[in-house]
Amino acid sequence: MRTVLLWAGLLAVGGCATRPEAGAPPRESLKAVVESLAGEATRLSPGTDLSLAVMDLRTGETASVSGLEPHISASSAKVFWVAAALGQRDLATVAPLAEKVFRTSDNEASGEVIDLVGGPDAINVYLRGLGLGHTALTKWNYGRERWATNSPRVMGRDNYFCADDMVSFLARLDRRELLEPEPTARLLKWMELTPRDGCGGWLGTRLPASARASLQHKGGWLPPGCCGDDARYNVLNEVGLVTLPDGGRYAVAILASRGPDWPKQAFFVERASCVLYRHLAKDAALDCGEAVARDGGPAPVVLEPGAPAPNYDCE
């Protein structure tokens, strides 16, 4: 069952909140936008398991749907691990690995980052210390085998997180509450090394060029055929910080999995990112794929008998 959580923060000027102009139509709430997107997901990407959370960092207004539901984290969790390493090691030690992690989502470099922190158990201690109670690293076997002894294993052998935990983390990163100023700045710059659009860059695909250029994010994906059980995986996550035209920012986590049609699931994530931007930027003219959405999303991929399945990995 989906749950919706909403907290609202008001910016006060001279002790009172700004009132809307007389006669102006009421502005749709962030909560309503998120709920509408959750409804769209069932139509545009049937079978997808969706969690979505967003925080307007200008006001503190936050909304989420299934925000505490665990999702397989895939590579999106790497932003946690690099932050943990920066809290313990100097920049010169972390930088060569972090650049690989964000530029190409290098799995072996990610394993070395985990080792810098002290292994999977140390990562989980770090996460608990931040109050991220629905997130854990269970195993990472790239380069060598690593298993955590303190993971609750909510998702069996898989690493997991939830949308609310990620948005809380990103908001605190943006407020410079997690790290010293220089490591914070470097981590945010590394988050700009990721793709701007397309595979691995779904969060930016339908955003205006200026927002794409400044996007700080980390995608995570386990596409069809990758992991032996498409009914469990088909993971497509996007988490990040987006800058608005007025200089304000928002933190977002869009977690999608188990969708049987990968292009439809990817289109929904791209569209959801755009619709959230359109609302927060008050850019009513922005086209978020309305024509494709009206048609029910991308056309299904039809394969000839015996034809190999498409390779949806970012290679």
Model confidence at 303, pLDDT cuts 50, 70, 90, reads confident
- Residue pLDDT, tens place only, 144-192: 999 999 999 999 999 999 999 999 999 999 999 999 999 999 999 999 9
Task: Supply the pLDDT for residue 227.
Answer: 87
Instruction: Give the model's pLDDT for residue 15.
Output: 36
Kindly report the pTM of this predicted structure.
0.91
Report the number of distinct structural domains present in the chain.
Answer: 1
Does residue 190 lie within any of the structural domains?
yes
Decide if 241 is inside a domain: yes
Which domain range does residue 219 map to?
A: 30-282
Tell me, yes or no, whether 296 lies in a domain. no
**Range 280-312 burial, b when 16+ CB lie within 10 A, else e:** bbeeeebebbeebbeeebbeeeeeeeeeeeeeb
What local confidence, expressed as pLDDT, does residue 23 receive? Answer: 52
133 phi/psi in degrees, rounded to 5: -80, 0
CATH number, domain of 243, equals 3.40.710.10
* Domain-located, residue 22: no
Q: Is residue 208 part of a domain?
A: yes
- Choose the weakest-confidence range: 25-34, 63-72, 129-138, 170-179: 25-34
Query: What is the average pLDDT across 297-311?
Result: 86
Q: Classify residue 15: in a domain, yes or no.
A: no
- In-domain check, residue 313: no
- Distance between CA atoms of residues 205 and 274, nearest Å: 8
DSSP H/E element including 280: helix 262-281
Domain-located, residue 98: yes
